[in-house]
Amino acid sequence: MANPLLRDGPIPAAVHGIIEYIAGVAFIAAPLMFGFESGSATGVSVAVGIVILLVAGTTAGPTGLVNGLSVSAHVVLDYALAVMLIIAPFVLGFSDEQEPTIFFIALGIVHLLLTIATRFEGSGQSQPR
């Protein structure tokens, strides 16, 4: 039975993985690049970057370094992360600061669309070894 979370979109899983590594580094560098003033935005941005790198690196897929996380679990985390990024400025109290608010919402939407458009079928969705 096909997993409804593992879509057959136009973006290959390998491209998704590469984009996640870039996004992880971007979240870590964003406070310096965009001059975040909020300590909350800075801390969350760095933490999100680390989480993205860990999830990307431990997923049993074409760009994973360690096959510790199934692709299905990765997809669930991607959706949860996208929603968290979109609501973070409002929930964590930095929505009055333009740069991190735009960054978090924009990357949350991009991450959501990337996850929806990724072809996960056949990308190593078996259980971790």
Instruction: Report the domain count for the chain.
Output: 1
User: Is 81 a member of any domain?
Assistant: yes
Share the mean pLDDT of the chain: 91
| DSSP string across 91-125 | HTT-TTSHHHHHHHHHHHHHHHHHHHHEE-TTSS-
User: Is 86 a member of any domain?
Assistant: yes
Q: Look-up: residue for tokens 């964590």?
A: 92
User: Is 124 a residue whose pLDDT tops 80?
Assistant: no
User: Is 16 a member of any domain?
Assistant: yes
User: Is 127 a member of any domain?
Assistant: no
Residue type, 80: A
- Of 7 and 51, the one with more pLDDT: 51
User: Is 89 a member of any domain?
Assistant: yes
Mind listing the pLDDT tens digit for each residue in 73-111? 999 999 999 999 999 999 999 999 999 999 999 999 999
What pLDDT score does 4 carry?
59
**Which 3 state secondary structure label does DSSP give 64?**
coil
Task: Over range 4-27, report the average pLDDT.
Answer: 90
User: Is 1 a residue whose pLDDT tops 90?
Assistant: no
- Of 30 and 128, the one with more pLDDT: 30
User: Is 105 a member of any domain?
Assistant: yes
Domain containing 101: what range?
11-119
Q: CA–CA separation, 99 vs 31, rounded Å?
A: 9
User: Is 109 a member of any domain?
Assistant: yes
